[in-house]
A = this chain, B = another copy of it.
Amino acid sequence: MIRILLAEDQSMVREALAALLGLEPDFEVVAQVARGDEVLAAARAHDVDVALLDIEMPGMTGIEAAAVLRRELPALKVVVLTTFGRPGYLRSAMESGASAFLVKDAPAAQLAAAVRKVLAGERVIDPTLAAAALAEGANPLTERERDVLRAAADGSTNAELAETLHLSQGTVRNYLSTAIQKLAARNRAEAVRIARDKGWL
């Protein structure tokens, strides 16, 4: 039996995926968690062969959890499953040690197929997405630029950003300005949107 861990924060989707995987006679979903920071303990406790990780989760992202698993349980294979086919996500997932990267709007058959392939030592990546990830290059933002952009995403003003980030207003505006230029945006709002779309935020 192939022992599977499922990490996904939406119960209904998680249990539905479990039902789907349960249709395969040699699959067994031995653990389900709803938070990224519960992945490691569950994987340890249930002698898991493959971890299926959603990216957007409370506590810790699936990508961060993948990195933890690689360090602590290197033999375990990781499949990252996500709603958003953002090239930046693919890049980070692979850098964190994932063996497969699937988007949720791929056909369901690919899920079981991916599990079998990663156990056979293969990597599974959507070719279109891989091309997009390579075409777009790496994240051009520095860490601070990312911080400021992330903080600006909710509509905070410069004064508030300066406050929460312990910076001067001028510095906040400088970082936003360079971020806007690097992303070829016309203002902070568009910069946020672009960075989000590419998975750079």
Q: Which residues of A contact B (CB under 8 A)?
A: 9-17, 19-20, 22-23, 81, 83, 102-108, 110-111, 154-157, 185-193
Task: Please state if A10 and B193 are interface contacts (CB–CB under 8 Å).
Answer: no
Q: Are A13 and B185 in contact (CB under 8 A)?
A: no
Copies in the complex: 2
Query: Which residues of chain B are near A13, meaning CB under 8 Å?
Result: 13, 16, 104
Whether A15 contacts B108 in the complex (CB less than 8 A), given A10-B83, A83-B10, comes out as yes
| Chain B residues whose CB sits within 8 angstroms of the CB of A192 once the complex forms | 155, 189
B107 and A11 form a contact (CB under 8 A): yes
Q: Which of B10, B20, B104, B107 contacts A105 (CB 8 A)?
A: B10
Q: Once bound together, how far apart are the Cα atoms of A41 and B17, in whole Å?
A: 27
